[in-house]
């Protein structure tokens, strides 16, 4: 006897424990198997790009904080680099080193939260998440020391950073650098060989090399699919060409590889910070721009390797104090484009694991 | 004093009135003690999970946060009781009761001291199996009647999962029954001069895992998989009806811990302390182990859960039953430890063999 069954539509989100914000997926389910999926964005749209057109260049810096709020420093940095490119501003050596340290600390924060919530999506009862947060708190303390803020730092300025490192920062950073590598090793040791983790994430949600390139994915998602492309190496910005580090690459493109790439990237970030902290020169931290800052007319695209992928700002300037148009290449959004290919054919439970392994931040997807 | 009272009540009832008094007092006693002790167990679980997660856990209401469950009860009782418009009202009302009542009924056959129990059924184990199956009916009724897609998926999962895990559960109990030579739980405890966990390690292994699935605990908590199904079958419940489900879930965990203590750890037997304390200690031990697992492991996927039941647990349970049966029937005068060693060897060899040749990973389904 053949039962007559019919697929039904399941609305995952926008209010759902593991959509990392207000993301919505209309999933067509045949029993437990996903046959189709349609992502629906826009629940967190704040019009940051449009707002930017009515603000002066400096006023936009706090706006960029609010895009990827777990990696605010990186957003600041990408925007500052773009405007510096447009106006041709020189950045002092010390500021460049500070920027690298901040950016890498922020990358570790973002990866810790990404991994923690990935395991939450897999069904652990918050334990990895809380462990990751102990590491994250240490970094947040460091960032608070320099910027006065714990979440939305607003630290980068055109031509440098808003203030010099406080005297207690470098000793605290060295202490952190001693403590963190064993901690990362511990996380990895606790998680990587768990049989259930392997069963849930190995060979699940495969993003092939071709598909990743076609979808213009970037960051850990791209590198887990076997493409060795990291903007810090491919087109070095700031002073990244002075540091010695590796770009971790995995080959399968499944959820487990994305996790492994993130863990390895944290180790590499530690290496970069160690070198930067050792080689940081004395001197000015900002090359001040005039109070009424008017970059020349023109068009510019600046980018950094953000924690989630290539974070780029495209600014069109008409020579006034406000940008004519500002567009953000948000890696979270672009990494999501391959979601349908990755999800089709998997079970309902896999949706969240695959979605979590991409590691998006809704603030950046919707802007 | 309580103990003397219990023994008075449980003395073999001679007359009809004594019989009814025994039923009434003991029944009331079980309900009151279970429902209040469940609060303590909820507190214990939250404290333990807090410690596992590097945080103190509830510690504000009362000494050591002991009054926290009470505060939760008050909160949940004052919540608005919502019934969805299109729900099947009668089934929606009945479902919480159907899932709570059988759990309490199980305790009727668990002895708290020698011959101190509500009803010394000579088919005790069979009764436990029969009654505990009803719980899944309550879960299915709730999921079906809620008229919600999440709870519907949860209901389907519950049927698949609970029915599959009943098989290994029953077979693992059968090993104990063979060794004790009786179905009555009282006789089973009395037969345990050596706790059966030493004679039946494989049986305990199967029993413990299968009962984890029966009580919907991690890693088999697919019915209320937070990251996918939000809350599963009880998603539409609020107020007292939700509290009843919550209560049923914890009662089930406590009752199955007590069952494990009775069947495998020698129940009330133990030196120095009064029997009821021994039973309680052993129950707390098993319960803490369940909490430990909950704080540690991610969740399996539905197909992996089914594979695990039918391809791993069921053969192991059958082999264990075979070994136990053979040793008892072919060589009855053999020392008992031979059974224990045979069971342990079986467990180790089987687990090694299985983990080498079988991976619970899943494949994608062609759509």
Read off the tokens for B165: 């895990």
Helix (H, G, I), strand (E, B) or coil at B76: helix
Task: Give residue ranges of B with CB < 8 Å to any A CB.
Answer: 49, 52-55, 149-150, 153, 218-219, 221-222, 225-230, 294-304, 355, 359-367
Helix (H, G, I), strand (E, B) or coil at B136: helix
Q: What is the band of B167 on the pLDDT scale with cuts at 50, 70, 90?
A: confident
pLDDT of A264 strictly over 80:
yes
The percent of residues in chain B predicted with pLDDT above 70, rounded, is 92
pLDDT in tens, A149-196: 888 888 888 888 888 888 888 889 888 998 888 988 888 888 888 888
pLDDT of B267 strictly over 80:
no
pTM of the model: 0.85
For A30-81, the three-class secondary structure string (H helix, E strand, C coil) is: ECCEEEEEEEECCCCCCCHHHHHCCCCCCCHHHHHHCCCCCCHHHHHHHHHH
Q: What is the band of B5 on the pLDDT scale with cuts at 50, 70, 90?
A: very low
What are A327's strand-pairing partners?
Answer: A314
Q: Do B221 and A123 touch (CB under 8 A)?
A: yes
Q: Give the residue among B29, B10, B26, B27 at the shortest CA–CA distance from B114.
A: B10
This model of the complex carries an ipTM of 0.81
pLDDT of B316 strictly over 80:
yes
Helices (H), chain B: 2-10, 16-52, 68-77, 89-106, 124-145, 149-180, 185-191, 196-199, 201-214, 226-229, 239-264, 275-296, 302-307, 314-330, 337-357
The percent of residues in chain B predicted with pLDDT above 90, rounded, is 0
**A27 to chain B, minimum CA–CA distance in Å?**
12
pLDDT of B72 strictly over 80:
yes
Residue B192, exposed/middle/buried by CB under 10 A (0-12, 13-18, 19+)?
A: buried
CA dist A217 and A211 (Å) reads 9
CB A253 within 8 A of CB A226: yes
Q: Which of A125, A204, A348 is opposite residue B49, by nearest beta carbon?
A: A125
pLDDT for B364 equals: 55
More confident residue, A108 or A340: A108
Contacts of A203 in chain B (CB under 8 A): 361, 363
Give the count of alpha carbons within 13 A of B159, CB side only. Answer: 11
pLDDT in tens, B211-249: 888 888 878 887 776 667 777 788 888 888 888 888 888
Q: Do B226 and A17 touch (CB under 8 A)?
A: yes
pLDDT in tens, A317-331: 888 888 898 899 888
CA dist B171 and B179 (Å) reads 13
Helix H or strand E encompassing A305: strand A298-305
pLDDT for B9 equals: 47
Residue in chain A closest to B149 (alpha carbons) equals A10
Contacts of A34 in chain B (CB under 8 A): 367
CA dist A28 and B217 (Å) reads 28
CB neighbour list of residue B18: distance below 8 Å, 6 or more residues apart = none
Lowest mean pLDDT among A21-25, A139-143, A277-281, B43-47: A21-25
pLDDT for B7 equals: 47
Q: Which of A195, A197, A347 is opposite residue B302, by nearest beta carbon?
A: A347
Q: What is the band of B29 on the pLDDT scale with cuts at 50, 70, 90?
A: confident
State chain B's mean pLDDT as an integer.
82
Q: What is the band of B363 on the pLDDT scale with cuts at 50, 70, 90?
A: low
Task: Give residue ranges of A with CB < 8 Å to any B CB.
Answer: 8, 10-11, 16-18, 29-30, 32-36, 119-127, 130-131, 134, 194-200, 202-204, 344-352
Torsion of CA A59, A62, A67, A72, to 10 degrees: 140
Helix (H, G, I), strand (E, B) or coil at A103: helix
> Has domain A8-366 been given CATH number 1.10.645.10?
yes
CA dist B83 and A19 (Å) reads 26
pLDDT in tens, B116-160: 777 777 888 888 888 888 888 888 888 888 888 888 888 888 888
**What would you measure as the largest C-alpha separation in chain A, in angstroms?**
81
pLDDT of A2 strictly over 80:
no
Domain boundaries, chain A: 8-366
Q: What is the band of B4 on the pLDDT scale with cuts at 50, 70, 90?
A: very low
Lowest mean pLDDT among A248-262, B164-178, B347-361: B347-361
pLDDT in tens, A98-140: 889 999 999 999 999 988 888 888 888 888 888 888 888 889 9
Contacts of A33 in chain B (CB under 8 A): 365, 367
Q: What is the band of B1 on the pLDDT scale with cuts at 50, 70, 90?
A: very low
pLDDT in tens, A50-89: 888 888 888 888 888 888 888 888 888 899 999 888 888 8
């Amino acid at each position: 006897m053949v039962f007559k069954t019919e697929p039904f539509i399941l609305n995952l989100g926008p209010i759902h424990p593991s959509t990392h914000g207000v993301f919505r997926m209309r999933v067509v389910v045949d029993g437990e198997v996903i046959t189709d999926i349609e992502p629906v964005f826009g629940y967190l749209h704040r019009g940051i790009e449009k707002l930017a057109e009515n603000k002066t260049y400096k006023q936009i810096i706090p706006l960029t904080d609010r895009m990827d709020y777990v990696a605010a420093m990186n957003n600041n940095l990408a925007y500052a680099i773009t405007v510096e490119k447009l106006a041709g501003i020189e950045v002092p050596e010390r500021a460049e080193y500070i920027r690298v340290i901040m950016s890498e600390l922020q990358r570790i924060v973002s990866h810790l939260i990404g991994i923690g919530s990935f395991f939450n999506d897999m069904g652990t009862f918050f334990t990895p998440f809380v462990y990751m947060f102990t590491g994250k708190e240490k970094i947040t303390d460091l960032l608070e020391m320099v910027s006065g803020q714990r979440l939305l730092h607003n630290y980068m300025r055109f031509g440098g950073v808003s203030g010099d490192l406080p005297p207690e920062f470098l000793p605290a950073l060295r202490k952190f650098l001693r403590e963190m590598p064993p901690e990362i090793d511990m996380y990895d040791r606790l998680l990587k060989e768990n049989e259930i983790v392997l069963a849930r994430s190995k060979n699940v949600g495969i993003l092939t090399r071709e598909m990743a390139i076609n979808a213009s994915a970037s960051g850990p998602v791209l590198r887990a699919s076997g493409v060795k492309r990291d903007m810090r190496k491919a087109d070095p910005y700031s002073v990244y060409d002075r540091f010695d580090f590796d770009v971790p690459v995995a080959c399968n493109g499944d959820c487990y590889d994305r996790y492994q790439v993130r863990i390895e990237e944290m180790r590499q970030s530690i290496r970069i910070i160690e070198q930067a902290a050792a080689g940081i020169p004395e001197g000015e931290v900002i090359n001040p721009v005039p109070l009424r800052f008017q970059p020349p007319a023109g068009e510019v695209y600046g980018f950094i390797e953000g924690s989630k992928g290539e974070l780029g700002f495209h600014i069109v300037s008409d020579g006034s104090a406000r940008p004519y148009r500002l567009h953000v290449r948000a890696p979270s959004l672009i990494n999501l484009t391959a979601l349908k290919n990755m999800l089709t054919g998997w079970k309902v439970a896999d949706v969240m694991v695959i979605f979590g392994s991409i590691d998006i931040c809704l603030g950046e997807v919707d802007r | 004093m309580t103990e003397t009272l219990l023994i008075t009540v449980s003395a073999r009832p001679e007359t009809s009135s004594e019989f009814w008094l025994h039923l009434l007092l003991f029944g009331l006693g079980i309900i009151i003690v279970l429902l209040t002790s469940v609060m303590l167990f909820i507190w214990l679980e939250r404290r333990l999970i807090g410690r596992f997660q590097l945080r103190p856990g509830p510690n504000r209401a009362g000494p050591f946060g002991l009054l926290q469950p009470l505060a939760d009860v008050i909160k949940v009782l004052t919540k608005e009781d919502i019934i969805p418009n299109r729900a099947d009202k009668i089934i929606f009302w009945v479902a919480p009761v159907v899932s709570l009542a059988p759990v309490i009924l199980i305790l009727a056959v668990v002895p708290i001291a020698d011959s101190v129990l509500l009803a010394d059924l000579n088919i005790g184990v069979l009764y436990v199996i029969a009654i505990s199956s009803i719980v899944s009916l309550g879960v299915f009724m709730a999921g079906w009647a809620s008229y919600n897609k999440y709870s519907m998926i949860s209901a389907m999962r519950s049927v698949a999962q609970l029915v599959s895990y009943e098989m290994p559960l029953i077979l693992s109990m059968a090993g104990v029954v063979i060794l004790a030579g009786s179905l009555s739980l009282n006789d089973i405890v009395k037969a345990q001069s050596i706790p059966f966990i030493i004679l039946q390690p494989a049986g305990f292994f199967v029993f413990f895992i299968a009962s984890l699935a029966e009580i919907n605990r991690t890693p088999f908590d697919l019915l209320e998989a937070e990251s996918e199904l939000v809350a599963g079958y009880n998603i539409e419940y609020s107020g007292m009806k939700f509290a009843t489900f919550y209560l049923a879930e914890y009662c089930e965990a406590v009752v199955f811990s007590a069952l494990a203590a009775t069947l495998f750890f020698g129940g009330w037997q133990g030196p120095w302390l009064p029997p009821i304390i021994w039973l309680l200690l052993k129950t707390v031990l098993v319960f803490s182990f369940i909490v430990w697992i909950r704080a540690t492991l991610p969740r399996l996927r539905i197909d992996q859960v089914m594979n695990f039941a039918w391809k791993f647990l069921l053969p192991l349970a059958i082999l264990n039953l075979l070994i136990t049966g053979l040793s008892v029937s072919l060589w009855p005068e053999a020392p008992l430890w031979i059974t224990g060693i045979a069971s342990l060897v079986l467990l180790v060899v089987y687990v090694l063999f299985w983990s080498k040749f079988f991976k619970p990973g899943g494949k994608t389904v062609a759509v």
